[in-house]
Amino acid sequence: MSPSQPINHLSIADAGKALRAGQITARQLTEDALDQVAALDPSVNAFVLVTVARALKDAERADADFANGIDRGPMQGIPYALKDIYATARIRTTCHSNLLRDAIPSTDSAVAERLANSGGVLIGKVGTFEFAIGGPSFDLPFPPARNPWNLDHFTGGSSSGSAAAVAAGMVRIAMGSDTGGSIRAPAGYCGVVGLKPTYGRVSRRGVFPLSYSLDHCGPLAWSVEDTALAMQVIAGYDPFDAASADVPVPNFTAKMRHELIGLRIGYTRNFYIENSFCTPDAAKALDAAAQQLASLGAVVEEVAMPPFEQFDACKNTILFAEAYAIHESDLKTRPYAYGRKAYQTLVSGAVLSAADLVQAQRLRRELTTFLNQNVLRAYDALLAPNMLRTAAPFSSFGPDDGGGGGVLTGPFNVTGNPALALPIGFVADGLPLSAQIVGRPFDEPTVLQIGAAYEAAAGFTGRRPILKRQKPLECSLPL
């Protein structure tokens, strides 16, 4: 730990080294994180609940374990936040909705349980689009999170609070969920790293569902290494999640120091080159990222993919049909309790037929087979666009539509492949741009290897937004 390095700038890896060397304590890390939240969150609106008492208790337990020679892994003593669709025992879990405003689960979600058992420090719950869909909205119990790079712009969603909290430096890591891009889009808009693991790699038990066959759980973090360290804790088979994959958990950092020489990376340029949302800045940054990977020794070649529109139509049909099935009873009996945007989005699933869903699932199988048996048989990974423009201002969102668009994340929810979002540059007004590295099923180590090599060479991950600190809120934060 450098004497000149602020404690809140330490990565998970560096904080872990300092904790184990006795240079800092989990209590110090936690108090610093709580101070950051108190000073910055009144402007950012990332948190819907700050669990002060729980955080301090977790920190004391982590410090006691260190003192007794007990090492629970890379998250021990590290503050983190959970998207407010992750059930937390005896702690309010609202899904950012009036329907669950006072809901208090009796048990933890699988991820919350794993993080607690690993010695992590829960700082609180962060905001989301209502039920992970339909935002940003201003008619909900909590305001939408704001983009730390420009508070007049939105964060993307639905893991909006997770991305904002990490980008602002309130926590190093926050958990999100991804059904059509809800980890990767906000990670991209907020200039942080986000990983959608392979479908089934991380248990979704205890996470409020949006689409049973598309939902993924994963982390948002400052860096690829921090992402990998969090994955080491949260990944693993869960017999109580029907979609959980019974496969070995690899060492997610094992390849991260390896060179890219010999790797073959397909560049899905056709996904965006004719897309009307694509800005010149995004196109230039994506091409530069491809060139950077080639300069690191990888063979980078353009690869033909099925039209993005096929993936998008497939994803939307499955998502809206399954989301409507989940919410059907409440949509019929308590429609007034939903926010306008979530209601309008969810109710659209009512017009879909069984035939629509069957055809979408058939197309899904064809697209997944093409990607894995054709494209990824010839290439180790793909470089793909994440979003084709920077975050829109809140002023561009009307009550029934928005200023979003140009997010190209959905294809890899359809196929279930691991996909890593990472920054690839900034435009003139300071807002970030992002790309995805996509890998073969359960080959997150190669995805992380490529992401870490690019990150080290490009240097964008080290940039942080500058936010005005406000007077700390003392102990007025909810417990």
Q: How would DSSP label each residue in 247-283?
A: -----TTTTTTS--TT-EEEE-GGGTTT-TT--HHHH
Q: Torsion angle of alpha carbons 242, 247, 251, 256, nearest 10°?
A: -90
Sign of CA dihedral 52, 37, 432, 451: negative
What are 413's two structure tokens? 């929810």
> What interhelical angle do 110-117 and 224-234 show, nearest 10?
100
Average pLDDT over residues 436-447: 98
Which pair of tokens denotes residue 49? Answer: 């609940």
pLDDT above 80 (res 403): no
Pairing outcome for strands 173-178 and 216-221: antiparallel
Residue type (1 letter), 254? A
Q: What is the pLDDT of residue 273?
A: 87
pLDDT digits over 246-302, tens only?
A: 999 999 999 998 899 999 999 999 989 889 999 999 999 999 999 999 999 999 999
Per the rule left: phi > 0, alpha: psi between -120 and 50, beta: everything else, 65 is alpha
pLDDT bucket at 476, cuts 50 / 70 / 90: very low
For the domain made up of 16-458, the CATH class stated in words is alpha beta
Rg (C-alpha) for the chain, rounded Å, is: 21
- The catalytic residue positions are 83, 158, 182
For the entire predicted model, the pTM comes to 0.96
* In the chain, where the domains are located: 16-458
What does the alpha-carbon distance between residue 155 and residue 187 come to, in Å, rounded to a whole number?
Answer: 8
Determine the pLDDT at residue 348.
96
pLDDT higher than 60, residue 63: yes
Q: How far apart are CA 225 and CA 227, in angstroms?
A: 5
1: CB partners within 8 A, 6+ apart: 10, 14, 17, 18, 21, 23, 24
Q: According to DSSP H, which parts of 110-223 are helical? A: 110-117, 160-167, 184-189
CB-based contact 39:469 (threshold 8 Å): yes
Q: What single string gives the DSSP state of each residue in 365-407? A: HHHHHIIIIIIHHH-SEEEEESBSSPPPBGGG--SS--S---B
What order of strands is seen across the sheet that includes strand 264-267? 47-50, 121-126, 79-83, 173-178, 216-221, 193-196, 419-426, 432-439, 381-385, 264-267, 299-302
Instruction: Yes or no: say if 44 and 167 are a contact pair by the CB < 8 Å rule.
Output: no
Judge whether 220 and 166 are in contact, CB under 8 Å. Answer: yes
Q: What average pLDDT does the chain have?
A: 95
pLDDT at 474: 39
Among candidate residues 303, 285, 216, 233, the one with its CA nearest the CA of residue 454: 285
**pLDDT tens digit sequence for 169-179:** 999 999 999 99
Q: Report in angstroms the alpha-carbon separations of 48 from 11, 94, 161, 212, 285.
A: 24, 9, 9, 25, 34
- At residue 4 the predicted structure's pLDDT band, cuts being 50, 70 and 90, is low
Tokens of 280: 């010149």
Are 193 and 221 contacting, i.e. CB atoms less than 8 angstroms apart? yes
Residue 108 is given by DSSP the state -
